[in-house]
Amino acid sequence: MLSQNQFLQWEDTLDPSLSPDEDRTVNVSNFERGLSVAIGLWMLYRGLKKFPKSPITNLIKASTGAGLMARGISGYCPLYNRFDIDGNKTTSVNIRNTFIVNKPRHEVYAFWRKLENLPLFMRHLETVKELDSKRSHWEAKIPNNMLTVKWEAEIVKEEKDSLLSWQSLPGATIENAGKVEFRDALGDRGTELRIMITYRPPAGNIGNQIARLFNPLFEKMVKEDITNFKQFIELKESIAVNEPERSTNISNFP
């Protein structure tokens, strides 16, 4: 588990690095290794099962499957090594935003503190379930429902009505951290929020491909989700009337 100092360093850089390489011969991430074994096993099974019908085609399929399994089990990819690719490095999605909502600070904080409320306005979050006063289970989706990822997080720092920060627990498929600061807006205009959210996609070359292909869309979605909060909380009374199924959750804050 990261210490508070480590978390603060992470949120300052918004680009957490993975642990140093333990073995130079391992250049495939755990995420990609598992995927390689699963796909390889399926290809090997299908190739052997249908071998009599089309020997050449299915021999190639079975051989490819065996190669993928060996890649996953060993964690070493000769092609990666040839092109000096480190499958344990990925990029991050880092978002900052500051805006004012026309609601009292204690009310805005109460809403955020109940993390299960977040999917009400964040489309990229499918569910957030609080496990206890600190830990929670999160499920998020990549745009177009291409991939659903799950992880557990914990609140690492909180100051009532002023600050809330969280981070994913070690071993999570996707690393996530966030911080929200709550301040009285000048001129009694409500509450000023300063929000930071960062996501690190699955490690490995596949994670890099996902990052390159979907990060612009994913980042755009998260930015829009954060902006949606202003409209959501300022109009929560009308939402409760027009969408009764949400009224129970909405009534959980003042």
Q: What's at 202, amino acid-wise?
A: P
- For residue 140, the model assigns a pLDDT of 87
Q: How far apart are the first and last CA of the chain?
A: 34
> Per-residue pLDDT tens for 68-81?
999 889 988 888 77
Backbone angles phi, psi at 96, to 5 degrees: -125, 145
> Per-residue pLDDT tens for 171-208?
777 789 999 999 999 888 899 999 999 987 665 555 56
Confidence check: pLDDT of 210 > 60 = no
Confidence check: pLDDT of 110 > 80 = yes
The angle at the Cα of 170, spanning 164 to 174, to the nearest 5 degrees, equals 80
Longest distance between any two alpha carbons in the chain, whole Å = 80
- The set of residues, in sequence order, having a beta carbon less than 8 Å from that of 89 and lying 6+ positions away, is 18, 203, 208
* H or E segment and range at residue 32: helix 30-49
| Cα–Cα dist 231/101, whole Å | 8
- Joined together, the tokens standing for residue 146 give 């291409």
Strand partners, 168: 153
